[in-house]
Amino acid sequence: MAEYQKFEHDVLIIGAGGAGLRAAIEASAEGVKVGLVCKSLLGKAHTVMAEGGIAAALATVNSADNWKVHFADTMRGGQYINVWRMAEIHAKEAPTCVRELEAWGAVFDRTKQGDILQRNFGGHRYPRLAHVGDRTGLEMIRTLQDHGIHQGIDVHMECTVISLLKEGDRVVGAFGYDRQRGRFLLFQARAIVLATGGIGRAYKITSNSWEYTGDGQTLAYNAGADLMDMEFVQFHPTGMIWPLSVAGLLVTEGVRGEGGVLRNKEGRRFMFDDIPEIYRHQTADNEEEGWRYCTGDRNARRPPELLTRDHVARCIVREVKEGRGSPHGGVFLDISWIKERIPNAPEHIRRKLPSMYHQFKQLADLDITTTPMEVGPTTHYMMGGVRVDAETQMSTVPGLFAAGECAAGLHGANRLGGNSLSDLLVFGKRAGKFAAAFAKEHGFGAINTDQVESLARWALEPFDRGPASPADGQGPYQIQHELQVKMQELVGIVRTEKEMLLALEEIGNLKKRVRSVAVHGNREYNAGWHTALDLTNLLTVSEAITRAGLERRESRGGHFRDDYPNKDKNFGEFNIVVRRGPGGEMQIVPERIPPMPAELKQIIEEQQQ
Amino acid sequence: MALATFSIWRGEAGQGKYCKYTTEFSEGMVVLDVIHKIQAEQANDMAVRWNCKAGKCGSCSAEINGMPKLMCMTRMNQLDLSKPVTIEPMKAFPSIKDLVTDVSWNFRVKKQIKKFKPRPPDAPDGSWRMSQEDVDRVQEFRKCIECFLCQDVCHVLREHQLHDEFVGPRYFVYIAALEMHPLDTEDRISELAKAKGIGYCNITKCCTKVCPESITITDNAIIPLKERVVDEFYDPLKRLFRMFRR
Ligand SMILES: Cc1cc2nc3c(=O)[nH]c(=O)nc-3n(C[C@H](O)[C@H](O)[C@H](O)COP(=O)(O)OP(=O)(O)OC[C@H]3O[C@@H](n4cnc5c(N)ncnc54)[C@H](O)[C@@H]3O)c2cc1C
Ligand code: SF4
Ligand code: SF4
Ligand code: FES
């Protein structure tokens, strides 16, 4: 018999980033008992790293902005395969959610009139990102955390959920372990919200931390829920590339929003060379106009550096491939040049981009106020994830909800910067609300003790096999590293059928090796053991990304295929759904996108002008 | 590639010893990279906290050659590598395992501080107006990443272990951020002297020196709070005046 501690919560929320915290606050406001689980300490989730800002049509800087423009921008950025209803809800509700943060103590940068200041960001027609310098995520997570701790939420820090538990169709609990002591935990719940974030650790070059191993997506998939849009991984165009040890670390798009420009080694602003048709009328065709846009000139069009991330990332790859890259295999991002335009430029840069200044100064010995940075693409964000109902955020499994990065739908084929933080607020809130409603209508289900026993056994097997013999390739870090290298190489920014098939083979081999993964030491805070257990999740999401990528035989947003370099109208009518078949095999099912109501269509058409 | 030797404290619940690991490192590496390399190659089960690797989350606090620092922001070329580099967990908190300490006390302390209570909104749409100058100071405090390095270095906690009577520099920064928030209407000053123990601070400024976010903890947060305490308790006129102002 496995030993475990047992907890009961009406609503269990897995993940304490922006989405999880917002959901927890909302659910407890609905009067149910809420438990919140997270792998790290409270306040350390990925959300803390977000830099640039929260997108919401507050219209404090440009009064022409409104939800319709935000909606149209989001759909255009997502190449029209977004769940349009989510894009609509998001655009409408984001402003209120940002104001709510202010009511809970957040202190955003201000306009001259004392309102919330908004900055420019890629793909957003107007200055739309509420921000605090370049540490917006910290402001957001701290505000939610400091408000949330007074709401009577039970927080389980440094605990990892390894499986959901079901009774019939419905989800009734979760099983996991506490990282500090290694003891098993059983959570019984009437409703569960997944808010576990992304999958970045499946790749070698990433802006994501150890936590982002696709847990939520895998938990949902294993519980029989649909995943969707898994082929769409966002590679952020500007990650650090030098020194090697910091490769992948994010350089916020805010740098470009403040006037930073991209140049190749010949000094050419190559982004002017390739402006996609759908953005041409909105994009500056000369440097002068681009700069005027960054200084807030409402009549100017935005510089091509602020085109969507997928496009900018591919342009950088092209420059490097064609031999015009920087010494360490990237391109130059220069903000220091603005000293030609404004007095006190160094001071201005340090105030607007303090943590970027700090990051480069400390980690690369480079002063961004005088010297261009070297940057290249980095794995950043997962557009796909758990398929949810737009209104309630419930997955296809009753009682199981998902919000934030681990859910799919809002961003379609490509996410606009700033739309994630607002996503967390809008849909975190909704998930919390509807999970609480579900909990009120449903009792606690029965826990299947056999399932719990076998999970506990499975989790401890790596110890039985340990210690790892590196020669046999049994080490958890070894396997993780090999997967990351393969995914980077074979299912990265530019994909082909041949390479993705190869990737599937590699994933198959690694799956076999995971069955013999071995760890040593004891159960207390054993990082090797934790890594070993995360491997299954990484492999599941890697397989889903690859299979969905094979199915989408076109290029769209974050998914670019060398063998099908163009958009295909037919594929534009489908989302690709991934689900677990009856025999445990991974099924790939294209699902037709429901037709958009006439009002929304009209908005999109109007905004195209 | 160059070689470095780390002497890392390894053990559980305060029982343990320093273990030496020698490993290669390359240009630009930070201490956390080397720790990860040792973890991946020589000590799979070593316990260490980290998340962002960019000085943003405040997880990787430790003592490097006796100095409280973020491991992810300490570059190898800043260290004397002619002798082993000592890496230890923070000392002001109970040890859990290896470099991981039990910092839960901090979370409990925060919960006991009265939360933000804004004045009624300024505009009918429920929003407020604040000028940038009025929020600059608060924004400095809100940069805090809760690394607890200031707590670790403060002698009141580290040597005197007065965790029950003294909230520590991190929470003076937190209280200052709330007190100086232009919208806040709550009163936390009356608690500061008694429950929060601000009197124990003798302005050594050690906390300010270690803060990775360069928050001027002592000058900008603690001293103004101390002044407010003095006003509140010893100046009846000012106190009366404050009452009217409210
Ligand atoms: C460097 C960087 C900068 C960014 N900048 C911006 C920006 O400016 N604007 C913007 O909109 N977006 C930005 N993003 C994206 C955005 O920050 C993330 O998408 C978002 O924070 C994700 O939030 P979340 O609540 O979904 O999950 P996260 O904040 O990722 O939190 C996930 C939570 O789930 C927990 N968890 C995971 N698995 C388990 C498990 N098995 N058991 C228990 N708990 C688990 C984790 O511990 C964590 O608490 C940025 C991202 C990065 C990396
Ligand atoms: S200044 Fe005060 S709070 Fe800071 S370390 Fe010294 S005694 Fe502690
Ligand atoms: S005030 Fe500075 S040293 Fe103290 S916890 Fe915050 S960031 Fe760390
Ligand atoms: S890992 Fe986040 S501060 Fe060091």
Q: Where are the beta strands (DSSP E) in A64-128?
A: 118-119
In chain A, residues 193-212 whose CB comes closer than 8 Å to chain B: 209-211
> CA–CA separation, B85 vs A76, rounded Å?
53
Neighbours of A442 (CB within 10 A): 15
Question: Of A357, A377, A397, which residue sits at a domain end?
Answer: A377
In chain A, residues 19-58 whose CB comes closer than 8 Å to chain B: 40-46, 48-49
Per the DSSP assignment, residues forming a β-bridge with A233 are A382
Q: What is the pLDDT of residue B231?
A: 81
A439-453, pLDDT tens digit by residue? 999 999 999 999 999
Is there a contact between A579 and A587 (Cβ–Cβ < 8 Å)?
A: yes
Which of A146, A355, A468 has its CB closest to that of B56? Answer: A355
Domain assignment present for residue A353? The answer is: yes
Ligand 1 atom closest to A51 (CA): 8
Which class does domain B103-238 fall in? mainly alpha
A109-121, pLDDT tens digit by residue? 999 999 999 998 8
Pairing mode of beta strands A34-37, A154-156: parallel
Per-residue pLDDT band for A474 (boundaries 50, 70, 90) equals confident
Q: Which domain holds residue A304?
A: 241-377
Q: Is the pLDDT of residue B238 over 80?
A: no
Question: Mapped to the 3 state alphabet, what secondary structure does A213-231 carry?
Answer: CCHHHHHHHHCCCCEECCC
Is there a contact between A242 and A418 (Cβ–Cβ < 8 Å)?
A: no
Q: What is the pLDDT of residue B240?
A: 55
Mean pLDDT, rounded, of chain A:
95
Q: Average pLDDT for residues B13-31, to the nearest whole number? A: 92
Q: Following DSSP, what letter does each residue of B201-230 receive, concatenated? A: -----HHHHH-TT---IIIIIIHHHHHHHH
Per-residue pLDDT band for A308 (boundaries 50, 70, 90) equals confident
> CA–CA separation, A51 vs A192, rounded Å?
29
Which class does domain B2-100 fall in? alpha beta
| Lookup result for tokens 């397989």 | A543
Residues A250 and A359 both lie in one domain: yes
Q: What is the pLDDT of residue A232?
A: 98
Per-residue CA distances from A189 to A216, A261, A402, A435 (Å): 16, 50, 15, 11
Hey, CA dihedral for B190, B192, B194, B196, is it positive or negative?
A: positive
| Lookup result for tokens 């420059």 | A319
Structural tokens at position A299: 């009549």
Instruction: With H, G, I as helix, E, B as strand and everything else as coil, classify residue A278.
Output: helix
| Lookup result for tokens 């940002």 | A98
> Is the model more confident about A554 or about A470?
A554
Structural tokens at position B204: 């050594």
CATH 1.10.1060.10 domain locations along chain B:
103-238
Structural tokens at position B191: 């608690």
Which of A142, A209, A521 has its CB closest to that of B52? Answer: A209
A329-341, pLDDT tens digit by residue? 999 999 999 999 9
Q: Domain containing A267 — which CATH number? A: 3.90.700.10
Ligand 4 atom closest to B51 (CA): 1
Q: What share of chain B is helix, strand, coil (3-state, %, to 5)?
A: 40, 15, 45
Best of A60, A240, A363 to disrupt the B interface (most B CBs within 10 Å) is A363
> CA–CA separation, A126 vs A60, rounded Å?
10
Contacts of B235 (CB under 8 A, 6+ apart): none
Is there a contact between A476 and A528 (Cβ–Cβ < 8 Å)?
A: yes
Best of B51, B147, B170 to disrupt the A interface (most A CBs within 10 Å) is B51
Q: Average pLDDT for residues A376-382, to the nearest whole number? A: 94
Q: What is the pLDDT of residue B246?
A: 45
Per-residue CA distances from A364 to A240, A249, A337, A466, B140 (Å): 9, 12, 19, 39, 24
Structural tokens at position A232: 């769409």
Is there a contact between B24 and B2 (Cβ–Cβ < 8 Å)?
A: yes
Q: What is the CA radius of gyration of chain A?
A: 23
How far does residue B177's CA lie from ligand 3's centre (Å)?
Answer: 13
Is there a contact between B220 and B136 (Cβ–Cβ < 8 Å)?
A: no
Residues in chain A: 609
Task: State if residue A207 touches ligand 1 by the CB under 6 angstroms criterion.
Answer: yes
Instruction: With H, G, I as helix, E, B as strand and everything else as coil, classify residue B67.
Output: strand
Domain assignment present for residue A422? The answer is: no
Q: Where are the alpha helices (DSSP H) in A300-448?
A: 309-321, 345-352, 354-364, 419-441
Pocket (CB within 6 angstroms of ligand 3): B 58, 144-150, 169-170, 173, 210-213, 215, 217
> CA–CA separation, A568 vs A321, rounded Å?
26
Is there a contact between A98 and A116 (Cβ–Cβ < 8 Å)?
A: yes
Count how many domains chain A has: 2
Q: Following DSSP, what letter does each residue of A295-313 receive, concatenated? A: TT-TTSPBPGGGS-HHHHH
Pairing mode of beta strands A400-402, A184-194: parallel
Which of B28, B44, B58 has its CB closest to that of A245? Answer: B28
> CA–CA separation, A65 vs A115, rounded Å?
15
Q: Do B51 and A150 touch (CB under 8 A)?
A: no
Q: Domain containing A490 — which CATH number? A: 1.20.58.100
Pairing mode of beta strands A233-240, A373-382: antiparallel
Q: Average pLDDT for residues A12-29, to the nearest whole number? A: 98
A215-259, pLDDT tens digit by residue? 999 999 999 999 999 999 999 999 999 888 888 999 988 899 899
> CA–CA separation, B176 vs B170, rounded Å?
10
Residues A371 and A461 both lie in one domain: no
> CA–CA separation, A544 vs A558, rounded Å?
15
B152-174, pLDDT tens digit by residue? 999 999 999 999 999 999 999 99
From A195, A197, A149, select the one nearest A174 (Cα to Cα). A195
A497-537, pLDDT tens digit by residue? 999 999 999 999 999 999 999 998 899 999 999 999 999 99
Domain assignment present for residue A314? The answer is: yes
| Lookup result for tokens 């990484």 | A538
| Lookup result for tokens 């790859």 | A317
Pairing mode of beta strands A494-495, A560-561: parallel
Q: What is the interface pTM, i.e. ipTM, of the complex?
A: 0.93
- In eight-state DSSP terms, residue A395 is -
Q: Average pLDDT for residues A191-209, to the nearest whole number? A: 94
Alpha carbon dihedral A443, A447, A448, A451, in 10-degree steps, equals 130
> CA–CA separation, B53 vs A206, rounded Å?
11
Q: Average pLDDT for residues B84-111, to the nearest whole number? A: 96
Side chain identity, residue A125: R
